[in-house]
Structure 1
Amino acid sequence: MTTTNTPTAVTTTSAAAAAPAPQPRTVKWVDLKAGDCLADPPPTDPAVVMVSVVDCGQPHSAEAYLRAPIPVNAALADVVTSECTTGFQQYTGATPGAGRYSSTYLIDSVQDRTSDNPYPSTVICLLQGADGKPLTGSARR
Structure 2
Amino acid sequence: MTISAAILLVSCGAHPTAAPPAPTIADTVTSHSASVPAPAARTLPWFNLQVGDCVDQIPAVDEGAVEVTLVDCATPHRAEVYQRAPVPVDAAVTDVANQRCNDALTAYTGSSGSYTVSYLIDSNQDRTADNPLPSIVICLLQDAGGGALTRSAHGR
TM over 0.5: yes
Partner of 1:128: 142
Partner of 1:118: 132
CA distance in 2, matches of 1:76, 1:29: 19
Identity of aligned residues (%): 50
Flag the structure with larger Rg.
2
Find the residue that maps to 1:113 and give its secondary structure. coil
- Given residue 36 of structure 1, which amino acid in structure 2 is its aligned partner? D
Partner of 1:73: 90
Unaligned stretches of 5+ in structure 2?
1-16
Please say if residues 42 and 62 of structure 1, whose CA atoms lie closer than 8 Å, have aligned partners that are also in contact: no
Unaligned stretches of 5+ in structure 1?
1-6
CA distance in 2, matches of 1:42, 1:84: 18
Please say if residues 58 and 79 of structure 2, whose CA atoms lie closer than 8 Å, have aligned partners that are also in contact: yes
Find the residue that maps to 2:105 and give its secondary structure. helix
Partner of 1:91: 108
What is the CA distance between 1:21 and its match in structure 2?
Answer: 1.5
- Given residue 130 of structure 2, which amino acid in structure 1 is its aligned partner? D
* TM-superposition CA deviations, 1:71-99 (whole Å, max 9, x none): 1212611211111011111101223xxx4
CA distance in 1, matches of 2:78, 2:137: 19
Report the CA distance shift for 1:48/1:75 in structure 2 as closer, same or farther (over 3 A). Answer: closer
CA distance in 2, matches of 1:65, 1:24: 19
* TM-superposition CA deviations, 1:38-90 (whole Å, max 9, x none): 01234343421111001100000000001110112126112111110111111
Q: Any runs of at least 4 consecutive aligned residues in structure 1 with deviations exceeding 4 A, and if so which?
A: none
CA distance in 1, matches of 2:89, 2:74: 37
- Given residue 118 of structure 1, which amino acid in structure 2 is its aligned partner? P
CA distance in 2, matches of 1:123, 1:26: 20
* Count of residue correspondences: 131
- Given residue 119 of structure 1, which amino acid in structure 2 is its aligned partner? L
**TM norm structure 2:** 0.75
Matched, 1:33 2:62: no
